[in-house]
């Protein structure tokens, strides 16, 4: 029954996607890469949210909440503010320039080499980090949910290989052969299922704790675990409160405003109004993210305590404990959709970057739109196969790999954000400044996190242990030995901006840069975008105040 429910819902998503996209011209760049620039607010919001959600977050963030509590909601609630910034500041400029990719702007603002460097950085991040990690984490969760080793009579690693290839093949069909619109439509349908399924878990969980009463369950959890409802993280936390005002917001703006896999949905808007409404709608829904990605972890801590071998077991254990057996198949289909969405969205964006920014630029300048799309599809197939071979190998890696790889992303995220922000806010900073900023950003961050940090942390921990320090105090010693990676990102952002501005003063462009209106879509802004954005920001601040020590004491 569970398997039939799963297959039924998954098939429904595929049928709806086919019907919605069968009249879209997939042989043109706009048709294939941007869905014919026809996406409306609801589709944009749904696609943004499900592209963002994956098993890394659903399982991983709840695992962090199991350990640390509600303070990890920063990754969700602050994303809402970043979406507001994107809607008001970045999207109007993107659509005015008629962009298909973010590096395309860098090519217009600086030069072709800068665009290529940015595209290469994005692609390297997708190939080495995002695609294999999404496939692997999804395969682990899916294999465990259906107990595939037992069902198929194979070993755990063989079940992971089977799951990786199953997810990868289905995701590739959507992304490579359906184009962005197929991805976006399937995302929207799955987003509805994910919201329903995701909210069911805390509801059933609270009812389980409260003997049938949701309110009684919530009161019991807050009373028994007050330390889990403190939104202010100390220096030993994974998200210290101070990082909210430094690197955290930079990471959020990069992810929601410049990351090709995300912003491509808004670039495909039929006009600026729909794009802004889609982003604002997504930001309102994102504020509810902790209900799905944080609260279940706290409920799991209340139910299971310290009995779990690993925090990442919290969410799947809670699902199996509180969800009626009749709903497990539906929830598995929803989770499969989330896994699929993150994979096919990143793959579609990789195809877009390669086809427009690399193939047409360096391999065949006179290529027709049909040829560009065909080359992009071929590259997408090869990329998917590479990711499917790499993903299972992650199983042999040491624990904590995912957190490590999130830190690695800083190598390219902050340098790219730096040159985009300076590019839009200045008119005479030259291309050489962008190249130097990217190079210094990558090199300095790598030296900081992979050479200096291990050295200082190791020395501090060894000295502390020699002095008899252990437990929580040792955590504080380790945390204080070197700045948090989000602080490092902020420091390097400011440094690289300064470098670019100094170069701009010493060697300015001969002609000022002017952003031209390409008239691809109507760029009349939504008249309520600023008011709605202010409301979103106020709600986020109120949430932090409500869960601060002053209010929870």
Close Cβ partners of 195 (under 8 Å, ≥ 6 residues apart): 285, 292
Is there a contact between 203 and 339 (Cβ–Cβ < 8 Å)? no
Give tens-digit pLDDT for 177-216. Answer: 554 455 556 666 666 777 788 889 999 999 999 999 999 9
DSSP designation for 271: B
Q: If you search the block for the tokens 């300064």, which residue do you land on?
A: 498
Helices (H), 225-364: 247-257, 260-267, 272-287, 289-293, 295-304, 314-322, 328-353
Give tens-digit pLDDT for 59-90. Answer: 778 888 998 899 999 988 999 999 999 999 99
pLDDT tier, 495 (very low <50, low <70, confident <90, very high otherwise): very high
The encoded tokens of residue 411 equal 């190598």
How far is residue 79's CA from residue 85's CA, in Å, rounded to a whole number?
10
Is there a contact between 517 and 96 (Cβ–Cβ < 8 Å)? yes
In 3D space, the residue among 400, 341, 84, 376 whose CA is nearest the CA of residue 187 turns out to be 341
How far is residue 462's CA from residue 449's CA, in Å, rounded to a whole number?
19
In 3D space, the residue among 257, 244, 267, 237 whose CA is nearest the CA of residue 476 turns out to be 237
Q: Domain ranges for the chain, please list them.
A: 2-21+30-399+516-527
The encoded tokens of residue 470 equal 């252990």
Is there a contact between 97 and 515 (Cβ–Cβ < 8 Å)? yes
How far is residue 261's CA from residue 130's CA, in Å, rounded to a whole number?
10
Q: Is the pLDDT of residue 386 over 70?
A: yes
How far is residue 98 from each of residues 264, 383, 397, measured CA to CA in Å? 12, 27, 42
pLDDT tier, 422 (very low <50, low <70, confident <90, very high otherwise): very high
How far is residue 159's CA from residue 165's CA, in Å, rounded to a whole number?
10
How far is residue 400's CA from residue 394's CA, in Å, rounded to a whole number?
11
Q: Is the pLDDT of residue 94 over 50?
A: yes
Is there a contact between 171 and 187 (Cβ–Cβ < 8 Å)? no
Lowest-pLDDT choice from 90-99, 188-197, 539-548: 188-197
Q: Is the pLDDT of residue 33 over 50?
A: no
pLDDT of residue 551: 60
- CB half-sphere exposure, 85, CA atoms < 13 A: 16
Q: Tell me whether residue 382 is exposed, middle or buried, using C-beta atoms within 10 angstroms of its C-beta: 0 to 12, 13 to 18, 19 or more.
A: exposed
pLDDT of residue 520: 76
How far is residue 93's CA from residue 87's CA, in Å, rounded to a whole number?
10
Is there a contact between 233 and 479 (Cβ–Cβ < 8 Å)? no
The encoded tokens of residue 417 equal 């954000």
Tell me the whole-structure pTM to 2 decimals: 0.81
How far is residue 370's CA from residue 375's CA, in Å, rounded to a whole number?
9
Long-range own/partner contacts, residues 115-119 (CB < 8 A, 24 or more apart):
115/357, 115/361, 116/357, 116/358, 116/361, 116/362, 117/435, 117/438, 118/416, 118/419, 118/438, 119/353, 119/354, 119/357, 119/358
Q: Which residues pair with 271 in a beta bridge?
A: 522
**Domain at 2-21+30-399+516-527: CATH code:** 1.20.1730.10
């Amino acid at each position: 029954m569970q398997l039939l429910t799963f297959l039924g819902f998954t098939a429904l998503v595929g049928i709806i996607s086919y019907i919605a996209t069968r009249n879209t011209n997939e042989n043109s760049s706009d048709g294939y890469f941007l869905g014919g620039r026809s996406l409306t607010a609801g589709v944009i919001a749904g696609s943004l949210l499900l592209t963002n959600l994956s098993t890394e977050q659903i399982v991983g963030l709840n695992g962090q909440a199991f350990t640390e509590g509600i303070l990890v909601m920063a990754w969700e609630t602050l994303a809402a503010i970043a979406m507001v910034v994107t809607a008001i500041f970045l999207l109007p400029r993107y659509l005015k320039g008629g962009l298909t990719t973010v590096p395309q702007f860098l090519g217009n603002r600086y030069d072709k080499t800068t665009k290529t460097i940015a595209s290469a950085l994005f692609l390297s991040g997708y190939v080495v980090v995002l695609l294999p990690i999404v496939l692997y984490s999804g395969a682990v969760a899916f294999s465990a949910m259906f107990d595939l080793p037992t069902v198929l009579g194979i070993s755990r690693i063989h079940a992971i290989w089977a799951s990786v290839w199953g997810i990868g093949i289905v995701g590739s069909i959507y992304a490579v052969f359906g184009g962005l619109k197929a991805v976006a439509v399937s995302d929207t349908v799955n987003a509805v299922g994910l919201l329903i399924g995701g909210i069911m878990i805390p509801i059933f969980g609270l009812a389980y704790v409260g003997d049938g009463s949701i309110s009684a369950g919530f009161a019991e959890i807050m009373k028994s675990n007050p330390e889990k409802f403190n939104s202010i993280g100390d220096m030993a936390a994974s998200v210290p409160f101070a990082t909210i005002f430094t690197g955290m917001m930079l990471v959020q703006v990069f992810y929601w405003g410049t990351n090709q896999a995300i912003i491509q949905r808004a670039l495909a808007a039929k006009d600026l109004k729909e794009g802004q409404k889609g982003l604002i709608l997504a930001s309102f829904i994102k504020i509810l993210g902790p209900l799905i990605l944080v609260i279940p972890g706290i409920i799991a801590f209340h139910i299971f305590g310290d009995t779990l071998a690993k925090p990442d077991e919290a969410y799947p254990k809670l699902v199996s404990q509180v969800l009626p057996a009749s709903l497990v198949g539906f929830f598995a289909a929803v989770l499969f959709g989330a896994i699929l969405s993150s994979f096919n969205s990143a793959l579609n964006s990789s195809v877009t970057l390669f086809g427009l920014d690399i193939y047409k630029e360096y391999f065949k300048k006179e290529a027709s739109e049909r040829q560009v799309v065909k080359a992009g599809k071929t590259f997408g197939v090869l990329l998917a196969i590479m990711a499917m071979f790499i993903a299972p190998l992650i199983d042999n890696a040491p624990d904590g790999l995912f957190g490590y790889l999130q830190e690695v992303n800083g190598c390219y995220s902050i340098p790219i954000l730096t040159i985009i922000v300076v590019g839009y806010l200045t008119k005479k900073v030259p291309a050489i400044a962008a190249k130097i900023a990217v190079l210094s950003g990558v090199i300095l961050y790598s030296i900081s996190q992979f050479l200096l940090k291990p050295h200082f942390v190791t020395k501090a921990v060894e000295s502390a242990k020699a002095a008899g320090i252990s437990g929580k105090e040792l955590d504080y010693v380790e945390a204080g030995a070197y700045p948090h990676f989000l602080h490092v990102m902020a420091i390097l952002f400011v440094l690289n901006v300064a470098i670019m501005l100094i170069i701009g003063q010493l060697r300015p462009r001969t002609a000022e840069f002017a952003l031209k209106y390409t008239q691809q879509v109507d760029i009349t802004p939504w008249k309520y975008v600023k008011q709605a954005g202010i409301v979103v920001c106020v709600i986020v601040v109120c949430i932090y105040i409500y869960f601060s020590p002053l209010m929870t004491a």
